[in-house]
Amino acid sequence: MPLRLLFVDDDPDIRTIVELALGLDPTIELGVAASASEALSALAAARPDAALLDVSMPDMDGPTLLVALHDRVPGLPVIFMTAHGRERGVAALRAIGARGVIVKPFDPLSLSAQIRALLSD
């Protein structure tokens, strides 16, 4: 059974890289959104098993989106992507319920494995 992953990032270049990287893994079905509001609108149709969220987005930041996602899908595993990978920031994201954090820039070839490792913790 494939992993249905909802990826949300406002940066079109990052979206393209993630789509290409995760497109190499036939066991991942990727849904992509360019904003938090787009992700919330697509949530019912996407029925994700997990979400991969950018921390910094203009309309609603990743932590706020995590709360909104958990209101609609309690217990949905969420992984954050951020360019700010300081230990304190990672701890704060984990404290609000993140399964883990992937720091940008990331290795596209190991992204799928990183996601699976964080989801199996």
* CATH (domain of 73): 3.40.50.2300
Contact 79, 115 (CB under 8 A): yes
Q: What is the pTM of this model?
A: 0.94
pLDDT tens-digit readout, 44-99: 888 999 999 999 999 899 999 999 999 999 999 999 999 876 767 888 899 999 99
Regarding predicted confidence, which is higher, 111 or 104? 111
Question: Domain range for residue 90?
Answer: 3-120
pLDDT at 85: 66
Q: How many domains does the chain have?
A: 1
pLDDT at 74: 94
pLDDT tens-digit readout, 3-36: 999 999 999 999 999 999 999 999 999 999 999 9
Rounded CA separation 61/19 (Å): 21
Contact 17, 42 (CB under 8 A): no
